[in-house]
Every structure is written in C-alpha cells, then in structure tokens.
C-alpha cells in the first residue's frame, strides 16, 4: 500500500480525535459547553493518555497548571518525565538552594486557577501548529485562532520548516497578530528556521502590540539571534510590558543588550 501524502496524514491526525474546533460555532463565534469543566477534563483525559495515566495511577491531586508546566518542560528539555538521565543529573548536579531563589523571582507562566478548558485549548492548538505546515489550510488556522484567543496565556511556538506552505513563513505573522491574549511566549528554534521566518515575526509582533497585546515574558529556546543583522531589537521594541526574559541554549546578538536593558530596567 502507498504511504498517504503528508497533507492527508495531517488531515487524518486532526479529524480523528477530539479537538477544540469540533465544539466551535463559527457563525456564533462561540464555544459549546464553555463552562462545563467536567466535560473539558474528560476530553483532556480522552485525548492525552499521559494525563490520564498520571491522574489514574497517582494519589497526588494534579491541576491543569501541573500538566501545562510538564508539557512545556518536556518540549524545552526534549525528554519525557521519568527519564533516568534527568533523574541522575537532578540528584547529583542541581543546586537546589539556587533553585529556591530562582523560583521566587521567576515569572509564573500559569495561574493556580487555570481551567481544564484552557489546558485543552493550549495542548490542542500546539499540536495543530506542529502539523499545520503539512496542511496549508488557513481557514482552519483562523478558526483555531478565533477559538483559542482569550483561552491561551502561554504558548510554545516551535519555528519549523514551511513544508507545504505556499506562503512560506507568513503564518507566524498571522498567529502573533491574532493571539493578543498571550502573556508568555516560548519560542523554540530547534530547526534553525528563525532567519527564514524573521521578517514575518517582526511584522507579527508589531501587529500584536498595535492590536493591544501585552507580553509579560519571553522565553527563547535554542534561538540564535547572533546571526541576525539587528537581532531581536525590532521585536523587543513592541514589547514594552515585558517583565522577564529567559533563555536556554541560545546565543544573543550584542545589539539585543540595549533594548533588553531598557525594557527590563
């Protein structure tokens, strides 16, 4: 049997499981069962086996915030919870006294009252973004953006190759222009595509600011702004509300220093 085209695989991946769009009324611009937390918790457990397993096989009481943090950490560290190497390193090399100080000063990405709907919206949209370059369906993208805006405060944005997209990296501008509810943005560039997407992201951040967006924290994961002529300066000028910037395995352009100092001082 022939292997299905990437677009067909992506369509199947999107439509053969619970998604936020299945409950989004496009005409009314309203989400069905929006206030039914039991329903969204059930959907989280049905869709995400790792959440179901943790709740089912543990005496601890986990909250949506716990799972949102776990998801981000796994994508940043690129290792699953329970990894033996992480356990060994934590036991032998981590400075726990420093972590106590760091945790006091760290900007909280998620509130304790995060809802199951907000968790599902975040996880579902991030999964969709992973396959979107294989779909090239902007109708679905805009429907998603309308459905999740106001429900996602922290987004893990992976910069990836354009694949099937005829418009290239334009979709990053679309995302940033519309998700004005974002307070924390984690940009991950493990594929080293920021240079290709750069002009669209600069425009997107400009629109984000003009549309009323107020980003509080920027997390850069494997981002190399050192090879960009102007670094992050054109982006940072549109983030006057920024309170925290964090990096992991990233290399910054010297030109980033002045705008960062001005914003964070």
The total number of structural domains that make up the chain: 1
Q: Is residue 54 part of a domain?
A: yes
pLDDT digits (tens, 9 = 90+) for 123-146: 999 999 999 998 888 999 999 999
Q: What is the pTM of this model?
A: 0.86
Residue 253 half-sphere exposure toward CB, CA atoms < 13 A: 18
pLDDT digits (tens, 9 = 90+) for 61-84: 999 999 999 999 999 987 655 555
Q: Is residue 1 part of a domain?
A: no
Strands 30-31 and 154-158: unpaired
Q: Is residue 250 part of a domain?
A: yes
Whole domain around residue 50: which residue ranges? 6-264
pLDDT digits (tens, 9 = 90+) for 214-240: 999 999 999 998 888 888 999 998 999
- How buried is residue 217: exposed, middle or buried, by Cβ count under 10 Å (0-12/13-18/19+)? buried
Whether the pLDDT of residue 5 is over 90: the answer is no
Q: Is residue 223 part of a domain?
A: yes
Inter-residue contact 185 to 219 (CB < 8 Å): yes
């Amino acid at each position: 049997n022939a292997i299905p085209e990437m677009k067909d695989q992506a369509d199947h991946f999107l439509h053969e499981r619970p998604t936020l769009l299945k409950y989004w009324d496009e005409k009314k611009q309203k989400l069905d069962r929006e206030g039914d937390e039991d329903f969204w918790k059930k959907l989280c457990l049905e869709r995400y086996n790792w959440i179901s397993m943790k709740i089912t096989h543990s005496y601890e009481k986990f909250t949506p915030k716990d799972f949102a943090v776990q998801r981000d950490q796994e994508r940043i560290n690129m290792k699953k919870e329970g990894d033996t190497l992480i356990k060994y390193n934590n036991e032998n090399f981590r400075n726990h006294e420093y972590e106590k100080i760091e945790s006091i000063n760290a900007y909280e990405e998620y509130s304790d009252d995060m809802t199951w709907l907000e968790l599902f919206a975040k996880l579902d949209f991030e999964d969709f973004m992973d396959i979107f370059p294989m779909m090239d369906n902007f109708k679905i993208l805009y429907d998603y953006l309308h459905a999740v805006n106001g429900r996602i405060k922290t987004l893990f944005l992976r910069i990836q190759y354009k694949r099937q997209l005829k418009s290239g990296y334009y979709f990053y501008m679309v995302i940033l222009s519309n998700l004005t509810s974002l307070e924390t943005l984690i940009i991950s560039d493990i594929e080293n595509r920021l240079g290709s997407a750069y002009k669209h992201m600069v425009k997107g951040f400009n629109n984000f600011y003009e549309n009323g967006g107020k980003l509080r924290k920027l997390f850069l994961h494997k981002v190399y702004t050192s090879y960009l002529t102007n670094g992050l300066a054109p982006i940072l000028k549109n983030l006057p509300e920024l309170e925290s910037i964090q990096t992991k395995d990233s290399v910054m352009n010297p030109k980033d220093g002045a705008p960062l100092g001005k914003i964070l001082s």
